[in-house]
């Protein structure tokens, strides 16, 4: 949700008529929409991908686009920093520090340092250099963003797994007590067995995931996209397991009442 605004901003900028002929110099595929535009508009160009759309006549518009793209990235990184700092999530101490450092001490100052360079650029070549750094050096949207969110998800799951593990002895005792009191605990025992199995499965899905996600760097893109997709699959499976474990816990509680 927090990303809607910058995305809309980017989408709005990209859909503006002027943009069509301008995007340009930014490593062509930096923007999803202009990739098509560049091909169309670049029909008179011999090299569509790197074909510059920045000309002396359109320089001012190109400059505004780069400045807007930088500003959107600052906003995005600010949102990511807030999420990394948010104590409501269950990021481990080490993972939180890693994210905070990457976002606030590397990415954000790096992008912010490009802003005056874009403002002071007087040639298309200079603007191109700034745009290239903005995309290739920092990868705000395709590395930093999924990296932050997937780490939060995985650490949240690890935390919930721990909560269930801590509950297990209490549940075992409760079932034993109920059984000793003459209660039929067959269903509760079955649910408890499933709960333990689901939690164990979730643990298997999340083990080592955060470290692997956090090891990804902007320079590893696009190869590391598959790492993020695999992490997403594991996180989704663990999420299902934990919901199933919760349903088991509810069932046990009902059975023992």
Partner 1 sequence: MTKRKLVTATLFAGASLALTACGAASASHIVARVTTTTSLPSTSTTAPTVPGSVPASVPPAGTPTTTPSNGLSSQSLNQVAADLGSLDDNLITANSDLNHPQGDS
Near partner 1 in 165-224, by CB under 8 A: 167, 170-171, 173-175, 177-178, 221-222
Near partner 1 in 145-164, by CB under 8 A: 145-146, 149-150, 152-153, 156-157, 159-160, 163-164
CB of 57 to partner 1, least distance (A): 25
Q: How far is it, in rounded angstroms, from Cα 23 to Cα 100?
A: 32
Decide: is 249 part of the binding site for partner 1 (CB under 8 A).
yes
When the beta carbons of 33 and 56 are compared against partner 1, the nearer one is: 33
Which residue of 53, 68, 84, 228 would you call a contact of partner 1, by CB under 8 A? 228
- 94, 145, 169, 195, 202 from 189: Cα distances, Å: 37, 42, 13, 10, 20
42 and 51 Cβ atoms separated by less than 8 Å: yes
When the beta carbons of 59 and 159 are compared against partner 1, the nearer one is: 159
Decide: is 63 part of the binding site for partner 1 (CB under 8 A).
no
Count of residues engaged in binding partner 1, rule: CB under 8 A = 60
Decide: is 118 part of the binding site for partner 1 (CB under 8 A).
no
The three-state DSSP-derived secondary structure of 54-110 is CCCCCHHHHHHHHHHHHHHHHHHHHHHHHHHHCCCCCCCHHHHHHHHHHHHHHHHHH
Burial level of 108, CB count in 10 A (0-12/13-18/19+)?
A: buried
How crowded is the C-beta side of 176, counted as CA atoms within 13 Å? 6
Which residues here bind partner 1, judged by CB under 8 A?
1, 3, 7, 10, 29-35, 69, 88-90, 134-135, 139-142, 145-146, 149-150, 152-153, 156-157, 159-160, 163-164, 167, 170-171, 173-175, 177-178, 221-222, 228-229, 232, 235-236, 239, 242-243, 246-247, 249-253, 256-257
């Amino acid at each position: 949700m927090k990303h809607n605004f910058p995305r809309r901003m980017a989408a709005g900028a990209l859909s503006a008529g002027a943009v069509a002929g301008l995007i340009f110099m930014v490593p062509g595929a930096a923007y999803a929409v202009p990739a098509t535009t560049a091909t169309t508009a670049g029909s008179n160009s011999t090299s569509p991908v790197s074909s510059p759309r920045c000309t002396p006549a359109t320089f001012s518009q190109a400059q505004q686009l780069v400045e807007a793209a930088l500003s959107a990235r600052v906003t995005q990184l600010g949102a990511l920093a807030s999420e990394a700092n948010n104590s409501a999530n269950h990021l481990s101490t080490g993972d939180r520090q890693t994210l905070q450092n990457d976002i606030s001490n590397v990415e954000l100052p790096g992008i912010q340092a490009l802003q005056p360079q874009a403002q002071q650029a007087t040639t298309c070549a200079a603007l191109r250099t700034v745009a290239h750094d903005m995309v290739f050096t920092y990868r705000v949207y395709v590395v930093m963003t999924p990296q932050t969110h997937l780490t939060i998800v995985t650490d949240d799951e690890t935390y919930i797994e721990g909560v269930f593990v801590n509950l297990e002895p209490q549940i075992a005792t409760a079932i034993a007590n109920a059984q000793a009191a003459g209660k039929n605990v067959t269903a509760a025992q079955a649910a408890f067995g499933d709960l333990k199995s689901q939690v164990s499965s979730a643990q298997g899905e999340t083990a080592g995931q955060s470290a692997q996600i956090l090891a990804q760097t902007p320079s590893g893109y696009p190869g590391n996209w598959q790492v993020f997709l695999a992490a997403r699959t594991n996180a989704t499976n663990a999420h299902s397991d934990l919901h199933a474990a919760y349903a088991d816990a509810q069932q046990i509680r009902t059975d023992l009442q």
